[in-house]
Amino acid sequence: MTGVSGGLADFVSSMGGDRALRVEESLGEGFVRLRVAEAERRQAKHDVRCVEDAVMELLRNARDAGARHIYVATSREGDLRTVTMLDDGSGIPADMHERIFEARVTSKLETVHMDRWGIHGRGMALFSIRENAVSAEVVSSAPGKGTSIRVVTDVNGLAERADQSSWPSVGVDEDGCETCVRGPHNIVRTCCEFALEERSTCEVYLGSPAEVVATARARAARSVDGADLLFMDSLDRLPVIERLRAAADARELREQASSLGLDMSERTAHRIVSGQIRPLRSVAARLTRRPDDTRSATGEREVDLVRDRRGLRMAPADVEEFSRVMERDFSLLADRYYLTLAGEPRVRVSGQRVTVTFDLAPSD
C-alpha cells in the first residue's frame, strides 16, 4: 500500500481489505480507531432499532419540511413491510433525492432542535433508515410540490411489533391523575403520539395504500381547475398529493398512485373512483373519539383532551425510552442469575412514584 507508513501498512495488509475499510488505526491490545464511515454506520444501526423508529423519523422530517398533511400508507407481504409517506411540505430537488440518504446531509443548518423524541437536524435520520432497510427512496418530490418516500424493511433485519392492527386509546389512569396512551408500541401508536403532539402543526392520516389514495384524493385542495388540466401534458407538474385528485379515471388514478409508490390493482382504483373506499379520518380525530352509549345518534363523542392531559407528568415517548433503557440494564441480573424477560419492562407513573415491573419468563 503505497503512501502508508510501515506499521499501519503491515497492519492493514494483515487484516484484509474489508476490515481495512473499517479501521483507521490499530492501537494495540485489540483496540482500534474506527474510520468515520464505520462509526456512522454503527450509530445508524442504533438510531433506528425497529420499524416504528423509522416511521417516527419520517414523520419528523415531513413536519420539519413544513407539511400540513402527512399520509402514511403501510402494508406487509410475508416478511417485507412497506411504508410510503406522502406530504405537502417544501419538497426535495431532484439532484438531492439520493444525497439526502447520505450521512450528515441536512437542510437544517440553522434549525437543529430538540423535540420530545430527541435531537433532530443532525442529518442522520434518513441515513439510519437506509442502513437498516432493504430499500429507501424518494419516489417523487420537487421544490414546492411535497414528497413521497418509500421504505421497505425485512422483519428479520429490522423488527416490528407483532400486533400492528390495534389502536391505542387516550385515557386517565387508575389514580385519576395521569393521562396516557395505552396500547402496543406499533406503527399505529407511533403515528398517534406524533399526531397528538403536533396536532396544531399538521394532520396525519394512516391506512392501507388504497385508503391513503382515497383520502388524499378526497382531501387534496386542487390548485388547478379542469380547464387548466386540458392543457397540461403531465400531472407530474402538480404537487404530489394533488395528482391523485386530478386523475380523471381509474386507469389514470392507478398510474399516478404507482408513480408515488402506492401500488394497487385497477379494480381497487375503480372502487376508489366510485366511492366504495371511504376516506380516512385523521389519526388524531380517530384517536380522540370513542364509542358513546347506545342512545347516541352517532355512536361517538369527543374526548376533552385539554381536560384529560392536565395530569400528564411523563411523556409517553419518555416512558417508552425509559423502558428500553431498563430492558438493556436488566442484562446485569439476567447474566448473573440466568433470567429471561417475558416482555418489555412496564413503566407506571402515578403521583410521586415511578414503578418498573419486569415480568420473567418461566425457568427451564
Amino acid symbol at 8: L
Contact (Cβ atoms closer than 8 angstroms) between residue 102 and residue 243: no
* pLDDT for residue 320: 82
Question: How far apart, in Å, are the Cα atoms of 140 and each of 91, 98, 214, 244?
Answer: 9, 12, 19, 13
The span from the CA of 58 to the CA of 337, in Å, is 40
Is-contact 171 182, C-beta < 8 A?
yes
DSSP one-letter string for 34-96:
EPHHHHHHHHHHHH--BHHHHHHHHHHHHHHTT-SEEEEEEEEETTEEEEEEEE-SS---GGG
The whole-number pLDDT of residue 266 equals: 93
If we measure between CA atoms, which residue out of 119, 90, 94 comes closest to residue 107?
Answer: 90
Report pLDDT for 53: 92
- Collect all residues with Cβ–Cβ distance below 8 Å to 112 and sequence separation of at least 6: 106, 119, 120, 121, 122
CA–CA distance, 307 with 70 (Å, rounded to integer): 27
Side-chain-side CA neighbours of residue 275 (13 Å): 0
Q: What is the pTM of this model?
A: 0.68
Q: Would you write out the chain's pLDDT as a tens digit for each of its 364 residues?
A: 444 444 444 544 444 556 667 666 676 666 566 566 665 666 655 678 899 999 999 999 999 899 999 999 999 999 999 999 999 999 999 998 998 888 777 666 555 566 676 665 566 788 889 888 999 999 999 999 999 999 999 999 999 999 999 998 776 545 443 345 678 899 999 999 899 888 889 999 999 999 999 999 988 755 445 545 554 556 778 899 999 988 889 999 999 999 999 999 999 999 999 999 999 999 988 887 644 433 333 344 444 444 444 444 577 778 888 888 888 888 888 888 888 888 888 888 766 678 888 888 876 5
pLDDT of residue 276: 93
Question: Is the separation of the CB atoms in 247 and 239 below 8 Å?
Answer: no
Q: Is 118 left (phi over 0), alpha (psi -120 to 50) or beta?
A: left
The predicted pLDDT at position 304 comes to: 45
Q: What is the pLDDT of residue 51?
A: 95
